[in-house]
Amino acid sequence: GQRIVVTGAASGIGAATAAAFTAAGAEVIGIDRNPAEDFSGEFIQADLSSPQGVADAAAQVSGTIHGLANIAGVPGTAPFELVLAVNVFGLRELTKALLPRIADGGFVTNLASSVAAGWAERRSQLFAFVSAADWDGALAGVHQDAEVTGNSYRFSKEAVRLLTELQASENLGRVRVNSVSPGPVETPILADFKKDHGVDKVEGAVTLLGRAASARDIANVIMFLASPQAGWVNGTDIRVDGGLAAHRGSAQL
């Protein structure tokens, strides 16, 4: 069986993804800062918000793996430093640490968001941010920028879109790297999104669509990206929002 690392595995989309890979016969290695109940697979409790936490997590992943699903994330209601640390740098560093262990033909799939659709407009700012050698330096570069600190979640997911392209281009022909951009998903984070993006916006979207996505709706697409059927899908993003952005005529939540 294939060995797949899933971050954020204790809740929501990560838990649904871990369950889907396990059901498909893979051996899942889950990582989360919170303990996971009834986790069927190996579980590493680690905090991906610091370089040391990421290094500790990576050191506990043994042997060759086939894929990495970077799903752990925090909402914009958390302090912006934490949002950027987990959603961007934790993802970047864990991927860097585990890529050499991913077998040829393997995959990395990153969780972005439909709110990041406008990322290309900020490409050079995002590039400077994601390329910073040390986390503190990158944060120092943006900590007085209200566009970033006031929209830390969106900025973090825009950075994930760029990181996905960079990671894909550095691993051409060996490991495919893509991202998935959900609209509202029924998980514990959704309550925070209501606070961050506005209750009316989120609930209006759910009313329009008839429901929010289930975590499984998103896991299904992550499973597709891990499959041979997605063998020529690389360096791109799949929006999974039930048609919300198409309906609104803009890709914003």
Could you say whether residue 86 binds ligand NAI (CB under 6 A)? Answer: yes
Interacting span for ligand NAI (CB under 6 A) from 45-53, 101-109, 120-128, 225-233: 45-53
Catalytic residue among 21, 80, 129, 153: 153
Query: Minimum distance from CB of 105 to ligand NAI (Å)?
Result: 25
**220 tagged catalytic:** no
- The string of DSSP letters for 81-123 reads HHHHIIIIIIHHHHHHHHGGGEEEEEEEEEE--GGGTTGGGGH
Query: Rounded to the nearest 5 degrees, what angle is found at the Cα of 68, between the Cα atoms of 174 and 116?
Result: 95
Task: Name the token pair of 114.
Answer: 């439909």
Is 184 a binding residue for ligand NAI by CB under 6 A? The answer is yes
Instruction: Quote the least distance from Cβ 163 to ligand NAI, whole Å.
Output: 13
Q: Is 161 in the site for ligand NAI (CB under 6 A)?
A: no
| 94 lies in the site for ligand NAI, by CB under 6 A | no
49 lies in the binding site for ligand NAI (CB under 6 A)? yes
Q: What character string, x for contact with ligand NAI (CB under 6 A) and - otherwise, covers 193-222?
A: x-----------------------------
**Alpha-carbon torsion 16, 94, 182, 235, what sign?**
negative
